[in-house]
Amino acid sequence: MAGTLYLVPTPIGNLGDISRRIADTLGEVDFIAAEDTRVTLKLLNHLGLKKPMLSYYRHNTGAGGEAVLSRLLAGESCALVTDAGTPAVSDPGEELVALCAQSGVDVVAIPGPCALVTALAVSGLSTGRFTFEGFLAMNKKNRRTHLEELKGERRTMIFYEAPHKLCATLDDLAEAFGPGRRISLCRELTKLHEEVRRTTLGEAAEWYGANPPRGEFVLVVEGAAGTAAEAPTLAGGPGWRRCGPRASPCGTQCGRRRGKQAWLKMNFTTVPWRKPAAANKTVRKKGHPYLEVFGIKNITISIIGKPRNTCGFDRKKGQKKKKTPCFFRKSKVFLQYETNCYFN
């Protein structure tokens, strides 16, 4: 039976961040695959542990990965560790995880220190949606091409950067996103000289141009601002139909307005014939793509008109009864809801 690969995070600066589970896992595995065995040896000495180790780093992922995999297939368990942070996140460990997945070896991730999440939490910028971009390319052309692709990105962006490349990166960021874009520069997180500088790209480039940076940085950059034209509306959404040429100028699919209520016509996948209560229950349970987006509440469905027959029951031929119930399929129904906005 194959062993298990454990992804064990290590402190990004403060040894006090080692959890009990991390220490127990390092003590229980058969061997450790380390990015730098010298760094990992210091950690093991701090924990009072002795374990056999082998090197697994960016330039030996082929041979190192096969060596780890062969021992895992033989039934041994392994802890994969990096010098700092969570393995396999912007790290060559992702190749070992993919190799184990292909070979049917179990992989277990142990929660723990992660620089990108820590930086995002203290950045002061939006945390609801974000994208992690890792390290930018060292080649200037490739770096600028990468940033050009992110110009319209509206989510908060997170980058890792080394001190010797920081000034060039800030210049390129300011050129791509504009000098007024907000940024949080998180330096030496959890360490003695931890610092979080919240400023703009232009001011950051100027500051670090005059004050040479030291330590490792996590850059948290504000996403692009949305425009009024890009604001979400009900127009064009799947399942909604325009009520006619006199539809509201705001682009909504409304038939008429009644205070805070409006009637909308929609395609509902399957609604039992003459059973609006069941339809209401289904919508409340399963939801609809637009209900949460537009703050819709107090849903009431009313079935309008005759249903389309989909069970083989033909009314015109005089067949009156059949045990199989009839259903609407993409039938037209009215959805009544209450909302405080999106109607002029």
Beta-strand pair 106-109/4-7: parallel
Site of tokens 């220490």 = 23
Residue 85 tokens, joined:
């942070």
Within this chain, do residues 303 and 321 fall inside the same structural domain, yes or no?
yes
Task: Please report whether residue 131 resides in a domain.
Answer: yes
Within this chain, do residues 328 and 258 fall inside the same structural domain, yes or no?
yes
Residue 311 tokens, joined:
């069970």
Task: Please report whether residue 295 resides in a domain.
Answer: yes
Last residue of some domain: 173, 201, 221?
221
Query: For residues 11, 17, 20 and 24, what is the CA-based torsion angle, rounded to 10 degrees?
Result: 10
List b or e across 307-322, with b for residues whose CB sees 16 or more CB atoms inside 10 angstroms. Answer: beeeeeeeeeeeeeee
Residue 205 tokens, joined:
């480039």
Task: Please report whether residue 233 resides in a domain.
Answer: no
Task: Please report whether residue 187 resides in a domain.
Answer: yes
Beta-strand pair 4-7/78-81: parallel
Can you give the CATH number for the domain in which 191 is found?
3.30.950.10
Residue 289 to residue 221: CA distance in whole angstroms: 30
Specify the pLDDT at position 147. 95
Can you give the CATH number for the domain in which 109 is found?
3.40.1010.10
Residue 110 tokens, joined:
């142990």
Specify the pLDDT at position 201. 97
Q: Are 270 and 329 in contact (CB under 8 A)?
A: yes
Q: Which of 217, 191, 194 is nearest to 204 (CA)?
A: 217
Cα dist from 340 to 54, 231, 297, 306, whole Å: 62, 16, 10, 32
Could you report how far apart the first and last alpha carbons of the chain are, in Å?
Answer: 66
Within this chain, do residues 34 and 122 fall inside the same structural domain, yes or no?
no
Within this chain, do residues 158 and 179 fall inside the same structural domain, yes or no?
yes
Residue 326 to residue 6: CA distance in whole angstroms: 54
Q: Which of 36, 102, 93 is nearest to 65 (CA)?
A: 93
Specify the pLDDT at position 322. 47
Specify the pLDDT at position 280. 55
Q: Are 152 and 178 in contact (CB under 8 A)?
A: no
Within this chain, do residues 211 and 154 fall inside the same structural domain, yes or no?
yes
Q: Which of 119, 163, 165, 158 is nearest to 142 (CA)?
A: 165
Last residue of some domain: 113, 130, 158?
113
Within this chain, do residues 202 and 264 fall inside the same structural domain, yes or no?
no
Alpha carbon 300 to chain centroid distance? Answer: 33
Cα dist from 280 to 253, 294, 330, 340, whole Å: 20, 18, 15, 21
Task: Please report whether residue 241 resides in a domain.
Answer: no
Within this chain, do residues 205 and 283 fall inside the same structural domain, yes or no?
no
Q: From first to last of the 344 residues of the chain, give the pLDDT tens digit.
A: 889 999 999 999 999 999 999 999 999 999 999 999 999 999 999 999 999 999 999 999 999 999 999 999 999 999 999 999 999 998 999 999 999 999 999 999 999 999 999 999 999 999 999 999 999 999 989 999 999 999 999 999 999 999 999 999 999 999 999 999 999 999 999 999 999 999 999 999 999 999 999 999 999 999 998 754 454 444 444 443 333 333 333 333 333 333 333 333 343 334 444 455 555 555 555 555 444 444 454 555 554 444 444 444 445 555 544 444 443 444 444 444 444 433 33
Specify the pLDDT at position 279. 53
Within this chain, do residues 65 and 99 fall inside the same structural domain, yes or no?
yes
Specify the pLDDT at position 88. 93
Alpha carbon 331 to chain centroid distance? Answer: 35
Residue span of the structural domain in which 287 resides: 254-338
Within this chain, do residues 173 and 212 fall inside the same structural domain, yes or no?
yes
Within this chain, do residues 13 and 107 fall inside the same structural domain, yes or no?
yes
Within this chain, do residues 133 and 99 fall inside the same structural domain, yes or no?
no
Within this chain, do residues 273 and 316 fall inside the same structural domain, yes or no?
yes
Task: Please report whether residue 260 resides in a domain.
Answer: yes
Task: Please report whether residue 230 resides in a domain.
Answer: no
- Crossing angle, helix 163-177 and helix 140-149, to 10 degrees? 40
Residue 104 to residue 69: CA distance in whole angstroms: 10
Last residue of some domain: 113, 135, 153?
113
Number of domains forming the structure of the chain: 3
What is the reported pTM?
Answer: 0.64
Specify the pLDDT at position 98. 95
Task: Please report whether residue 231 resides in a domain.
Answer: no
